[in-house]
Structure 1
């Protein structure tokens, strides 16, 4: 049993009292949320990656994103539209993480649709009569920004990892330059405090 599995068994499983538990696995960029979710899945839980779900919503909302941000991006020398008229998500990210106001504007476009999609997923999963999972995990970095989803969570599992380890993971995994990584790290520097402010029980997993 690896160290993550041991922490799950010791700290998380005893906290599950609901017959249909829903909880969030969160943490800063490159802390290892996906790995922790994979360990839960081995125990019979199901997880949904909200980052991937955001990408699906983003595809649907691409015309709205162009309308909201293309001019601002061009003024900063950033092209968020590719040659084949698609949205360049990496370029959009560079724009959004340079400004809290722009990031908030983007979230206001994306999060309402995301919330409805995840609520529908939770409902359909809990209605299964056969092969129903032990519980549902929402794998998300900033679920505190979607209060209706946070309300669905019985508690929060917060994944921590050292700064250098996270930096090296992000550079290797996402092929981002140092400035982009630091912008995202800076945007998430108070993440744990943001979750503490929600009043939800927080269980820390060290990765």
Structure 2
């Protein structure tokens, strides 16, 4: 879908919620589907866009010592080093570990998601009160794992792209080897079903 068609679809979504003075939309989709690209359209229309990947990275830095204490032994057992020479979490190495062992990923989510939920709820509250923005976009792949935030969303916008297009985009970004990309693709294969199971109102945008 080209940019003009996407823009028209987004305008239609916004118009559908014009009676809502401050809509909150979740923009989600599988890895490299184009969530940031779609979010940028909303941003140009005066929506505040919150990138959950960036927020998680900030929280990892804040909880650096707790994360190292929790996962360093697991990493050593698998031959990974998740602590840099500066004593900080190596986020790439940590990602490799967590996406290889779902039970460890779940453990990290229990560390990060409660704090993330409280932070974002406060941002939503303050932004709505100030009235500087038309609404909020929560740009998040797995928001279904944080029901307290997903419940605040008026609509889930699921961004779709073909497997090969997503794979090529992910490979061009660098930072992950092909096997690591495939691991993350596999972990997200039933992503849309997770949102359907939650009972969300969902619309799709092809990118």
Q: 4+ runs of 1 displaced by more than 6 Å?
A: none
Match of 2:141 in 1: 141
**Superposition TM-score, scaled by structure 2 size:** 0.95
| SS of residue paired to 1:82 | coil
Q: Pairwise CA RMSD of aligned residues?
A: 1.1
Deviation string for 1:76-113 (max 9, x for gaps)?
A: 00000011211100000000000111110110001011
| SS of residue paired to 2:203 | strand
- 1:51, CA displacement in angstroms? 0.8
Summarize the alignment of residues 54-203 of structure 1 with structure 2, pairs less than 5 Å apart: 54-129=56-131, 132-203=132-203
- 1:15, CA displacement in angstroms? 3.0
| 2:22 paired residue among 16, 20, 23 | 20
Deviation string for 1:95-136 (max 9, x for gaps)?
A: 00001111101100010110011011101101104xx21111
- 1:170, CA displacement in angstroms? 0.7
| SS of residue paired to 2:198 | coil
| SS of residue paired to 2:33 | coil
2: CA distance, partners of 1:137 / 1:155 = 10
1: CA distance, partners of 2:5 / 2:89 = 40
- Structure 2: stretches of 5+ with no match in the other structure: none
| SS of residue paired to 1:2 | helix
- Structure 1: stretches of 5+ with no match in the other structure: none
